[in-house]
Structure 1
Amino acid sequence: MTILDKIINDKKREVVLKKSIVSVKQLENSDLFERPTISLSKSIRNTTGIIAEHKRRSPSKATINNAFSIEHVATGYENGGAAAISVLTDAKYFGGSIEDLQLARASVSLPILRKEFIVDPYQILEAKSQGADAILLIAAVLTREEIRELSNFAQSLSLEVLLEIHDQEELDKSLMQSLDLIGVNNRNLKSFEVDLANSFGLSETIPDDFVKVSESGIQSPKDVHELKKFGFEGFLIGENFMKTDNPGQSLKDFIAAIQPNTF
């Protein structure tokens, strides 16, 4: 059993427990449920394209940064020029929580992506109730019909959908009109090795109808320049900023270095 299999098994049990504590009606009655959402795809295309991620730890890197509150990091990212903020809400493997999403929403006016292992429509309602503007779906853990069901449901709530793929097979099974963005994860979920060549290789087969996002392994402004040559407009970066003493300033410096005529 891979680490991804373990995460999904744990997630399914977690969702069952959450449903027994907080009902769908309670989620729908949240003060934030009727809040107008902000377009993640438009923000990416109209600004820096950087989706800055709050990430405390991961299965591959253990602790990355537990020193700063989500409010501090999110505000720093907004001031630093992020196009959007990604908030990891998985507790067991990434040290996040749904409260992190709620606190981030209270702290910034940027679009917020809920980064989670979504396996049930309940999690989409939960994201909407806490102020998310977009959700992540991972092709590796979902069937085509599950992707269709979850993405259609998300869009019915005015949430945009970022579909994450790792290879051509996942892309082929997943393409449908109920997606807004296609993200290429450069991390091999079995070996955890990272290679930007994964984005380069898949770029031409992703239709231009979708905003192209590269995820994981983006270390330098030069990486962003290279990815832009392959049609990528969004760049999800977390660890590179979170491992520093000042994530917001690190983002600001990074963005300054990718402005035109830098290279």
Structure 2
Amino acid sequence: MNILDQIIAHKREEVAQRKSLYPVKLLEQSTFFKGKPVSLKKYIRREDKVGVIAEFKRQSPSKGVINSAAKVEKTTIGYMQAGASGLSVLTDTKYFGGKNEDLITARSFNFCPILRKDFIIDEYQIIEAKSIGADVILLIAAALSPEEVKSLGAFAQNLGLEVLLEVHDKAELERSINPHIDLLGVNNRNLFTFETTVQTSKDLAELIPDEFVKVSESGISDPAVVVDLMKHGYEGFLIGEHFMTKGSPEKACRDFVRKVQGLINR
């Protein structure tokens, strides 16, 4: 059983437990549930932005603890002041050290689009995502059947949320792509070896239809790589580890965004 299989098996147990503790009717009473989601697609394409989706991530299965001291409020506000196009907040507890309260905090202090980064396998989690203030959900092709990707995507869009589909290779892309997706993310990290290479994003770029916002995820630490990926049609860049390993993630984000802008304007 690989790490993704382990995570999904645990997630099924977790979701079943949460359903009994927090019924859907309770989630729908949240003040955030009634709010209008903010479009990540629009923010990524804003002319004053460079497409960086800045992630708040305390730990990961491949790296262990990344940053246990960073505060959600300070970091996420700092990310947006730094010029990020949106936020990504991990809400998985067991493997990533996140929690729903992290996203609620980020939402309380920011008006920008927020991606709920978790392992979505059930419609319940999509309702939950909206109830905690998320604007976008992540669907991971490697963890879902094509039918599940389609039905969960449609369910999310019906609630007004945008959908980021994550793929790792050509086979996942071809079998999972459907009309109920807004953004298509290519994860540069190999699920089995944990190695990262942005070549994965380049290889898949031409296979992604133009109606989707292309997002490159993982292994991006050089502003020059972002500018290079832009030439391949990528508009969004999900970056977490590179920022979170620094003492001040928000300052690292600001420096990164400025360098990207500098390279574009050269």
- Fold equivalence (TM over 0.5): yes
Counterpart-to-counterpart distance in 1, 2:36 and 2:61: 34
Deviation, 1:159, is: 0.2
Q: Is 1:41 the counterpart of 2:41 in the alignment?
A: yes
1:188-247, CA deviations, whole angstroms, 9 ceiling, x for partnerless residues?
011100010000000000000000000000011011011011000000000000111111
Q: Which residue of 1 aligns with 2:172?
A: 170
Q: Which residue pairs with 1:142 in the alignment?
A: 144
Equivalent position amino acid for 1:207 in 2? P
Aligned length: 263
Secondary structure, counterpart of 2:164 in structure 1: strand
Please state if 1:77 is matched with 2:82: no
Q: Does 1:9 align with 2:5?
A: no
Q: Report percent identity of matched pairs.
A: 54
Could you list the structure 1 runs, at least 4 aligned residues long, displaced by more than 2 angstroms after superposition.
260-263
Aligned-pair distance for 1:109? Answer: 1.0
Cα offset, 1:174, TM superposition: 1.1
Report the more deviating stretch, 101-110 or 209-218.
101-110
Shift of residue 48 of structure 1? 1.9
**Structure 1 unmatched ranges of 5 or more:** none
Counterpart in the other structure of 1:217: 219
Q: Of the candidates 99, 103, 106, which is equivalent to residue 104 of structure 1?
A: 106
1:234 matched to 2:233? The reply is no
Gaps of at least 5 residues in structure 2 are: none
How many angstroms does 1:69 deviate by?
1.3
Distance 2:91 2:262 in 1: 35
Q: Which amino acid aligns with 2:25?
A: K
Pair 1:151 & 2:168 matched: no
User: 2:94, 2:37 → 1: CA distance?
Assistant: 28
Counterparts of 2:87 and 2:37, CA distance in 1: 14
Residue type matched to 2:26 in 1?
Q
Equivalent residue letter for 1:65: N
Distance 2:247 2:71 in 1: 13
Distance in 2 of aligned mates of 1:153 and 1:89: 20
| Alpha-carbon distance between aligned partners in 1 of 2:123 and 2:210, rounded to the nearest angstrom | 28
State the Cα distance separating 1:31 from its structure 2 match.
1.0
Query: By how many angstroms is 1:260 displaced?
Result: 4.6
Instruction: Give, as a single letter, the amino acid of the residue that structure 2 aligns with 1:203.
Output: A
What whole-Å deviation, never above 9, does each CA across 1:39-81 have from its counterpart, x for those lacking one? 0011001122000000000000001001121111111101111
Displacement of 1:175 = 1.3
Let me know the Cα RMSD of the aligned residues: 0.9
